[in-house]
A = this chain, B = another copy of it.
Amino acid sequence: MIRPGPSSPDTGDDVTTQTRRRIIDAATEVFLQDGYVGAKTDEIASVAGASKQTIYKHFGRKEKLFEQIVLDRLGGIGEIFQAAIGELAVTDNVEATLTAVARKFVHAIMQPSHLRVRRLVIAEAGRFPHLGHAYFEAGPERVHAGLASAFEQLTTRGLLRVDEPLLAANHFTWLVVSIPVNKFMFCGDDTRFTQAELDHYADSAVRVFTAAYGVAG
């Protein structure tokens, strides 16, 4: 819904979008540098070249700004994944399509900027569990719900044998991403994997998954 408020009569939508983008990028940088508690709106305003008032107008308080950053990050990965899940539900070649989905997924999730935000959310989940909840719902739970639905359709079509779709969805994604994600979580921001390594994790995860949930023969 587009509804320019009386407080911004001269602001076109493009300008608003650009301003929001600039603030989100600046806030991401400052949050990652200083942590959630250490991040100051003054610093974010300075990096963004915006006033504190503008930040408050667009995002409200720090907590809401952080949620927007998280949702912004997850949105990109969610889009990739929703498209892939759509292909999966209608495929006739489950293993090939699962492999394509797994590869796209692991490459998307292993972007260092995404993983640093992931680590920051975990870091604050003890003190601010609602931030972690927001991430968990918009990220893993959304992906798992979509995958579970695709697995159900493939089971109905006789191409998979899945009795607990949500459990199977969890098995699939954690098989694909756990090895590189956990290594990055613990071993720091310089942790890198080659494309071939990530593809190998994806392919072997699909092999394990289809052995368990595939239709023999």
Specify which of B178, B188, B209 is in contact with A126 (CB 8 Å cutoff). B188
Closest beta carbon of chain B to A145's beta carbon, Å = 14
Q: For chain A, what secondary structure do more than half of its interface residues adopt (helix, strand, loop), or is it mixed?
A: helix
Closest beta carbon of chain B to A63's beta carbon, Å = 15
Closest beta carbon of chain B to A16's beta carbon, Å = 31
A171 surroundings in chain B (CB, below 8 A):
175, 204-205, 208
A119 surroundings in chain B (CB, below 8 A):
122-123, 125-126
Number of chain copies forming the complex: 2
Across the interface, do B123 and A186 meet the contact criterion of CB distance under 8 Å?
no
A133 surroundings in chain B (CB, below 8 A):
186-188
Interface size on A, residues (CB 8 A): 39
In angstroms, Cα B208 to Cα A205, docked, is: 11
Closest beta carbon of chain B to A123's beta carbon, Å = 3
A189 surroundings in chain B (CB, below 8 A):
126, 129
Residue A18 is within 8 A (CB to CB) of chain B in the complex: no
Closest B residue by C-beta to A176: B174
Residue A69 is within 8 A (CB to CB) of chain B in the complex: no
A212 surroundings in chain B (CB, below 8 A):
207-208, 211-212
A167 surroundings in chain B (CB, below 8 A):
179, 204
A170 surroundings in chain B (CB, below 8 A):
178-179
Mask, A109-125, CB within 8 Å of B = 1, is: 00000001001011111
Residues of A within 8 A of B (CB): 32, 116, 119, 121-126, 129, 132-133, 135-136, 140, 164, 167, 170-171, 174-175, 178-179, 182-183, 185-190, 204-205, 207-209, 211-213
* A-B pairs, 4 with minimum CB distance: A129-B188, A123-B123, A174-B178, A132-B186
